[in-house]
Amino acid sequence: MSLAFGKTRTAQLPPNVNRILLVKNLPFKITSDEMYDLFGKYGAIRQIRIGNTQKTRGSAFVVYEDIYDAKEACEHLQGFNVTGRYLVLLYYQTNYRSKKTDLGKEEERVEQQYKNMSHEDDEDELT
């Protein structure tokens, strides 16, 4: 679809651009057919997952076949009004959770080293 808008596919994409879009602030009663109609204008869609629990209502994941189609959709639908709600679109970052867990492990490691160092200092004072 990108070529239809007159853009070439040789442009360098930012590292955060992804085929998976996280869509927030959706109307709670939006159907999958309405989602396909809205997002399908920008390219072939592989999958749409609409949140159905209390915590995930009003959000969805839209997975495009092509990264350039996802970029077009994100640019054009950011702030788009759907039944009085303005859409918020983000590129889904798959490595975000792994960084978060690694940070916890790193904090534990540093804390353990700190304890070991303070324990060694106590032993030095005794001798």
**pLDDT digit string (tens) for 12-62?**
777 778 899 999 999 999 999 999 999 999 999 999 999 999 999 999 999
pTM metric for this prediction? 0.67
DSSP per-residue string spanning 90-127:
EE--TTHHHHHHHHHHHHHHHHHHHHHHHHHHHHHHH-
